[in-house]
Amino acid sequence: MRMLNLHNIEDAKKRLERYDPTSFTGVDSSFRLFTNRINVQTFRHINSLNISFEHPVTVISGTNKVGKTSLLLLLGCSHYGFQRYDSTKPETVLRRHTWRDVLPFTSHETTTRDYAYKLYWRIGASIREGEGKRLHTSQAWTGVGKASSDPGRMNAQIRDREVRLIDLERLVPARNFSNSLLRKITSGTGTRVNPDIEKAFAYILDLPTTLEVNKIGSHINKLAFLISYTGEPYSSYNAASGEESLLNILHDIFEAPNDSLILI
C-alpha cells in the first residue's frame, strides 16, 4: 500500500489534474479503474438521467429528491464487493451489502414500475458496459445489478474493485450514540490508527504533525477515537463534531483497499 506523502502535494494536485480518465496508458497518466457514466432509465423517482464522470472526485448536489442517494445506491449495488459496516451486530465489522440491505420494500408499499439503468466503466484500457434491471413482477435484479456465480461473466456485478459507502450514520457524533459505546471505551484499550489518517487529519485542520490518534472503542457501525496533540488528550465525546466526522471519513477511506470506489 502506498504511503501518503504531503511534501509535494501541489505537484501531486497538478499531476492529478492532467490525468485522462477516458483512457489508460499507465498509472502515471490515468486511473486503472474508472466509472465513466451511468444512464438511469427508471429508478425510484428518477427518469431519463444521464451522468458522466470526468474527474476522480465528483460532487453531486441538489435539492431533496433529485436522486443523490439513488445514484450512490446504483453505483454501490453494481459491485460485488459493496462493503458497509454491519448495523445488525454489536461488533464493528464490514459486511457485503446487496439490494435487500439498502432498498427493502415493506408490506405497505406497492411497486408497479420496472427499474432499469446502464453503467459504463473501464478496467485498464478495456471499456465495459452493463445493464441492470428489476422487474416489479419478480422483484429480482438481473444484469449488473445482480451477482453471478461466474466471476468471468460480463453483464453482472463488477468484481474488480471494492466499494465503500460512507453514509450519514457514520457521521453521527459519538455522544449521540448508544451508551454501549461509552461502556466499551471504559473497558477497552487504544489502538493507533493508520499513520496516513493522522497525516491527512493534521493537514486538513492545520494541526501539528506530531498529532496522534488512537481508536479506543467501537459498537455496531460507530467508532470512537482519542486525539492527542495539545498535552491534553480528548476523545470523540469531547471533540468538535467536524473533527469526529472527518476522522470517520478518513478512517473509512484509508482502510479501504487501493483502487476502491468511495461513495459519500
Residues 139 and 107 placed together within one structural domain of the fold: yes
Distances (CA, A) of 207 to 62, 227, 228, 231, 240: 32, 11, 11, 13, 14
How confident is the model over 179-184, as a mean pLDDT? 83
Confidence of residue 4 (pLDDT cuts 50, 70, 90): low
Q: Which of 165, 187, 222 is the last residue of a domain?
A: 165
Whether residues 55 and 157 share a domain: the answer is yes
Report residue 129's pLDDT band, with 50, 70 and 90 as the boundaries.
very high
Confidence at residue 2, expressed as pLDDT on a 0 to 100 scale? 54
Residue 91: pLDDT over 90: no
In-domain check, residue 263: no
Asked whether residue 178 falls in the same domain as residue 240, the answer is: yes
Please check whether residues 43 and 136 belong to one and the same domain: yes
Residue 7: the pLDDT is 66
pLDDT of residue 246: 92
Instruction: Give yes or no: residues 60 and 148 share one domain.
Output: yes
9: pLDDT strictly greater than 70: yes
- Mean pLDDT over 135-159 rounds to 90
* Residue range 2-29: mean pLDDT, rounded: 78
- Average pLDDT value over all residues in the chain: 88
Structure confidence at residue 65 (pLDDT): 81
For the cut 90, the answer to whether the pLDDT of residue 72 exceeds it is yes
> In this predicted structure, what is the pLDDT of residue 154?
80
pLDDT by residue (tens digit) across 55-65?
888 888 888 88
> In angstroms, what is the C-alpha Rg of the chain?
20
In a shared domain, residues 184 and 117: no
Could you give the percent of the chain with pLDDT greater than 70? 97
Q: Does the pLDDT of residue 184 top 90, yes or no?
A: no
Q: Is residue 260 part of a domain?
A: no
Residue 229 is part of which domain span? Answer: 171-253
Between 148-162, 167-181, 236-250, the lowest mean confidence (pLDDT) is in: 167-181
Instruction: Write the CATH number for 38.
Output: 3.40.50
169 — pLDDT class (breaks 50, 70, 90): confident
- Give the long-range contacts of residues 49-53, CB within 8 A, separation 24 or more: 53/21
Residue 60 has a pLDDT of 86
- pLDDT of residue 188 exceeding 80: no
Q: Tell me what the mean pLDDT of segment 123-133 comes to.
A: 94
Query: 110 and 236 in one domain?
Result: no
